[in-house]
């Protein structure tokens, strides 16, 4: 079963690679990206798409960093805090006492 899953995972990775490779080969024409103030960048289409994807991933990760940091700090605080006790729960010292016979 593990071999089958490993083979399927490898085939999926190969399919993604060959799909992206075919995309790159089919989009080699020059593309011009115009910016502000009459500046531009000329590059193959695949580089323009890859750059836009990479920039989107970077912006998305940077947007999530503050939330991840806050959640990590909250987990650290919860690990350092004493566990909550209820009024009905026996105290640790009462639990360790041995009841005496009557």
Q: Give the whole-angstrom CA distance, residue 80 versus residue 96.
A: 24
4 neighbors 12 (Cβ within 8 angstroms): no
Q: Quick one: pLDDT at residue 75?
A: 85
Q: Quick one: pLDDT at residue 101?
A: 63
pLDDT at 2 over 80: yes
Tens-digit pLDDT profile for residues 10-58: 999 999 888 888 887 887 788 888 888 888 888 888 888 888 889 999 9
41 bridge partner residues:
33
Q: Quick one: pLDDT at residue 10?
A: 92
44 neighbors 28 (Cβ within 8 angstroms): yes
Q: Quick one: pLDDT at residue 57?
A: 92
Tens-digit pLDDT profile for residues 69-89: 988 888 888 877 766 666 665
Which structure tokens are listed for 95?
A: 């639990």
Q: Which residue carries 């939330």 as its tokens?
A: 67
Q: Quick one: pLDDT at residue 63?
A: 93
DSSP 81: S
């Amino acid at each position: 079963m593990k071999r089958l899953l490993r083979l399927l995972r490898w085939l999926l990775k190969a399919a993604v690679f060959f799909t992206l490779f075919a995309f790159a080969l089919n989009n080699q024409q020059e593309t011009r990206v115009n910016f502000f103030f009459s500046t531009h960048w000329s590059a193959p289409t695949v580089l323009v798409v890859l750059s836009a994807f990479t920039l989107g991933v970077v912006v998305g990760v940077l947007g999530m960093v503050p939330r991840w940091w806050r959640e990590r700090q909250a987990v650290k605080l919860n690990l350092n805090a004493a566990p909550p006790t209820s009024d009905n729960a026996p105290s640790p010292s009462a639990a360790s006492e041995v009841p005496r016979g009557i």
